[in-house]
């Protein structure tokens, strides 16, 4: 850890599928003191975290057996509001499920997920998984495409690891029963998307994420050592502090169905909770993507990085341009996959003028940041609300075979994509930044690992290459396994310590009329925050607009918190709507702070005040925890950190 600290500088600081089907374990535990902190933003070079030590399989089996015997006394401490596991996984997308299936071989696992188990960003991923599976392709080529798309901010070692290990991770999915499309020759059909120099996208029509999620959930369902808790909202990580180091021992959650606060005590916690899409009014992310994991980690004093790089997908379905408009507003925008352009789709403005050739030599196959800015420019210049994406010049049978889900959704609204262009508009899609992770998914918080969109591994740099997200999730979920097992074996967890953290207070204790007022006020605040983010922290930014966003968000947050506490809300009180709002405020502020810290335009961050790349600025933005006297409710954990014994 000494090397880690030197590298960072001073770190001061549903239905349930299977409920409790796995055995419950815990063992000894140690502990820590309250530290006030705030976001301090730097642009700096950060080395990788120290890797975990290795341990042989025979040593592991013996040490785990001893640990299990030592831990057996914990079962008598179990009750309906406190649960003990060796591993707790927060999130049920590809990263969380893949990790759980591996660590379940060595201990008990709880997966807690915010809604139904399948409701994740993974389930909505249409395009596929990028991997070098064609003889004419190469790891070096995939690396180069990734680094170019990432505006040369990617960590080269991370890129090499992911591109090298990716093919094996895809083969593992196939072995587990995931079904991908094959060509007439019987080989995997490899598609091509924007930014890729080769056909390397493994896919299942335009519903790849759904197929991966199905296969993984089925495997989890068959694993008796995994317990899956649906409709459990993660509130805050349970942490302790000693000698400048933070330790994580699980998480508090809210069971939204029973309205009970459930505490999960664990030796290891994997955070795989997804992104922050709903800080914006239009996003392709499902409703669960409210930045909970990043906000919880920030409150737990984890290092956060590259939050200015919010990827706007250039082509979400524009309901405004459909012949038959949806009866109600969508909770999340319908994605028109990158693969439509990869298959030859052409972008036109409403005068049917092709415009991408005027912005980039790669035209429709340019990286997403370029395409999104080009569309944004067209919309602003012409005063229009959407552009058109046309694939109708391709053979009907191929269009329907490759994009059946998109075709069906458009047809429901009176549009036949084999004959008519699709109205599209950019929408918030993916967070390239997040909780800073090392090459094995480790964070600066002991016992806390991250994988998937919640993590910032250095793979994506300033802009994610299409279909690299599922790949990254698979690779880092697998890489986090061995260090997690090592940590689990050595962890000394005292089960009785669970009682020392203050318990969350349920909002149902308030009168119905007061609670209704608070929920309504929270909905209004959420819409206002999203409006601020879209207007001032969107695809094209400026220092003046970012500062306005900072002021407006601060005022809105103060007004909202003041209303809550005036109506009887307590600092330790929890409700799904308010906790989501708390996390949205936290993440929005992190995005703005990071954006203000980058004085150049790179990848997804384009600012009118610094419109060019600056080689001296080619470093990640990093938000370190530090001391501060006063914090807003969204920026501090509900319970104080404990002091290690």
- Active site members: 368
Q: Please, are residues 252 and 235 in contact by the beta-carbon 8 Å criterion?
A: yes
CA distance 6 to 92: 34
Strand order in the sheet with 38-43: 38-43, 621-626, 304-305, 434-436, 455-456
User: What are the C-alpha distances in Å from 95 to residues 37, 88, 446?
Assistant: 29, 13, 19
CA distance 46 to 309: 17
How far is Cα of residue 354 from the mean position of the Cα atoms in its chain?
34
Q: Please, are residues 25 and 638 in contact by the beta-carbon 8 Å criterion?
A: no
Q: Which helix (H) or strand (E) holds 280?
A: none
DSSP H stretches of helix in 150-291: 156-175, 208-221
361, burial (CB in 10 Å: exposed 0-12, middle 13-18, buried 19+) = exposed
Output the six-digit token pair for 225.
């050592």
Hey, is 412 helix, strand or coil? helix
CA distance 546 to 533: 9
Pairing of strands 621-626, 38-43: antiparallel
Q: In 3D, which of 429, 369, 433 has the Cα closest to residue 591?
A: 433
Q: C-alpha dihedral over 483, 117, 122, 534, to 10 degrees?
A: -110
**Number of CB atoms found within 10 A of residue 174's CB:** 13
Q: For the chain, how many residues are written? A: 645
Q: Please, are residues 424 and 315 in contact by the beta-carbon 8 Å criterion?
A: yes
Q: What is the sign of the dihedral through the CA atoms of 53, 56, 59 and 64?
A: positive
Q: Please, are residues 533 and 549 in contact by the beta-carbon 8 Å criterion?
A: yes
Output the six-digit token pair for 377.
């420019």
CA distance 291 to 274: 7
């Amino acid at each position: 850890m000494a090397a880690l600290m030197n590298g960072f500088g001073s770190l001061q600081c549903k239905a349930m599928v299977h409920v409790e089907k796995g055995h419950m374990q815990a063992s000894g535990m140690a502990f820590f003191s309250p530290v006030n902190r705030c976001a301090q933003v730097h642009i700096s070079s950060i080395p990788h975290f120290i890797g975990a030590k290795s341990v042989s399989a025979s040593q592991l089996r013996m040490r785990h057996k001893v640990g299990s015997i030592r831990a057996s006394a914990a079962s008598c401490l179990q009750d309906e509001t406190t649960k003990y596991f060796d591993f707790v996984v927060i999130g049920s997308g590809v990263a969380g499920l893949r990790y759980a299936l591996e660590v379940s071989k060595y201990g008990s696992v709880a997966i807690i997920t915010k809604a139904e188990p399948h409701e994740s960003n993974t389930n909505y991923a249409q395009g596929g998984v990028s991997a070098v599976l064609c003889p004419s392709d190469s790891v070096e080529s995939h690396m180069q495409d990734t680094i170019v798309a990432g505006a040369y901010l990617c960590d080269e070692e991370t890129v090499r690891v992911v591109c090298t290990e990716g093919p094996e991770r895809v083969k593992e999915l196939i072995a587990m029963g995931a079904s991908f499309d094959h060509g007439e020759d019987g080989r995997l059909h490899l598609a091509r998307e924007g930014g890729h120099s080769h056909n390397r996208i493994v896919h299942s029509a335009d519903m790849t994420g759904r197929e991966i999620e199905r296969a993984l959930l089925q495997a989890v369902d068959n694993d008796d050592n995994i317990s899956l808790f649906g409709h459990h909202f993660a509130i805050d990580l349970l942490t302790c502090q000693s000698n400048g180091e933070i330790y994580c021992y699980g998480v508090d959650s809210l069971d939204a169905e029973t309205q009970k606060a459930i505490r999960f005590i664990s030796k290891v916690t994997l955070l795989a909770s997804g992104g922050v899409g709903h800080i914006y009014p239009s996003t392709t992310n499902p409703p669960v993507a409210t930045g909970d994991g990043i906000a919880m980690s920030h409150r737990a004093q984890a290092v956060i990085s590259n939050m200015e790089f919010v990827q706007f997908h250039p082509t979400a379905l524009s309901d405004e341009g459909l012949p038959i408009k949806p009866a109600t507003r969508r909770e999340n925008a319908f994605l028109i996959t990158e693969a439509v352009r990869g298959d030859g789709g052409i972008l036109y403005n409403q005068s049917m003028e092709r415009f991408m050739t005027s912005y980039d030599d790669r035209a429709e196959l340019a990286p997403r940041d370029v395409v999104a800015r080009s569309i944004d420019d067209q919309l602003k210049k012409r005063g229009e609300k959407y552009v058109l994406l046309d694939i109708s010049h391709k053979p009907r049978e191929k269009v329907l075979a490759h994009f059946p889900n998109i075709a069906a959704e458009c047809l429901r609204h009176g549009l036949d994509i084999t004959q008519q262009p699709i109205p599209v508009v950019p929408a918030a899609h993916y967070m390239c930044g997040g909780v800073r992770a090392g090459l094995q998914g480790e964070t600066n918080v002991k016992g806390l690992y991250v994988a998937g969109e919640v993590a910032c591994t250095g793979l994506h740099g300033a802009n994610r290459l299409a279909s690299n997200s599922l790949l990254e999730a698979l690779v880092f979920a697998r890489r986090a396994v061995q260090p997690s097992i090592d940590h689990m074996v050595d962890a000394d967890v005292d089960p009785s310590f669970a009682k020392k953290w203050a318990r969350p207070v349920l909002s149902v204790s308030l009168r119905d009329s007061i609670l209704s007022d608070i929920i309504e006020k929270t909905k209004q605040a959420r819409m206002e925050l999203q409006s601020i983010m879209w207007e001032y922290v969107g695809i094209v930014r400026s220092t003046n607009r970012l500062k306005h966003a900072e002021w407006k968000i601060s005022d809105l947050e103060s007004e909202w918190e003041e209303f809550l506490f005036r109506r009887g809300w307590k600092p330790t009180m929890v409700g799904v709507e308010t906790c989501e709002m708390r996390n949205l405020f936290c993440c929005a502020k992190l995005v703005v702070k990071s954006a203000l810290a980058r004085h150049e335009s790179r990848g997804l961050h384009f600012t009118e005040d610094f419109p060019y790349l600056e080689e001296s600025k080619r470093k990640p933005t990093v938000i370190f925890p530090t001391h501060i006297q006063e914090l807003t409710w969204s920026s501090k954990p509900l319970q104080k950190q404990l002091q290690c014994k």
